[in-house]
Chain A
Amino acid sequence: GESVGLHLPTLSVQEGDNSIINCAYSNSASDYFIWYKQESGKGPQFIIDIRSNMDKRQGQRVTVLLNKTVKHLSLQIAATQPGDSAVYFCAENPPGGYNKLIFGAGTRLAVHP
């Protein structure tokens, strides 16, 4: 499949472990954030979102944490599975940008059996 990014930072985990993927965002006034998962040959797939009036949001096996003080987001994946192997992107919606998203560089998650 096509390469999403040749020199992305890689997080390697064992199947069943928890994964934490980190992201620094750029605009302190951004008020909405999304995590996406991108598999080879596919478009980004929505995982979970969070608004700036929250600091934590949970989904199925995933949790997003938002620290506005240091402009930091993290995505926690519980009991990581081989199917979680992909590139993960955080995205921020800057103020006044309507639906414009600014994406982070991405992190490649490699899950080993």
Chain B
Amino acid sequence: KAGVTQTPRYLIKTRGQQVTLSCSPISGHRSVSWYQQTPGQGLQFLFEYFSETQRNKGNFPGRFSGRQFSNSRSEMNVSTLELGDSALYLCASSRGPVGNQPQHFGDGTRLSIL
């Protein structure tokens, strides 16, 4: 069974640009969550989608947005990139609508802002 797939693995952008990251969850998983990982702040929750609806959002500016498609695949978008947006962006999927169940992560997209 394939795991969570994130594309691209690496991305280099410049300040002011925008970027779209993609996540394909494990087959049968309908919940997709996004996290930002940096050496200084650790792993921080961005948002979660279930059945194409955003159910929860972390404490990030509106430049960070996402969406989920009917096949459960998800994308996140960051507009007007800043140097501080350099991070590893991780996607996790889980099966059902409620918490209390394992979430499985992809290997992330490494975003570098020049």
Contacts and interface: CB of A to CB of B under 8 A. Distances in A.
B97 interface: yes
A105 B101 CA distance: 21
Interface string B37-48: 101001111001
A59 interface: no
Nearest to B93: A99
B100 interface: yes
Interface stretch (B66-74, B75-83, B106-114): B106-114
Contact of B39 (A3, A42, A98): A3
Q: How large is the interface on A (under 10, 10 to 19, 20 to 34, 35 or more residues)?
A: 20 to 34
A43 B108 contact: yes
Given A98-B48, A99-B48, A103-B42, A34 B103 contact: yes
Interface size grouping (class) on chain B: 20 to 34
Per DSSP, chain A at the interface is: loop
B31 A46 contact: no
A7 B39 CA distance: 8
B38 to A, nearest CB: 9
A45 interface: yes
B104 interface: yes
Contact of A100 (B4, B45, B90): B45
B33 A44 contact: no
Interface of A: 2-7, 31-32, 34, 36, 41-46, 49, 51, 89, 91, 93, 97-106
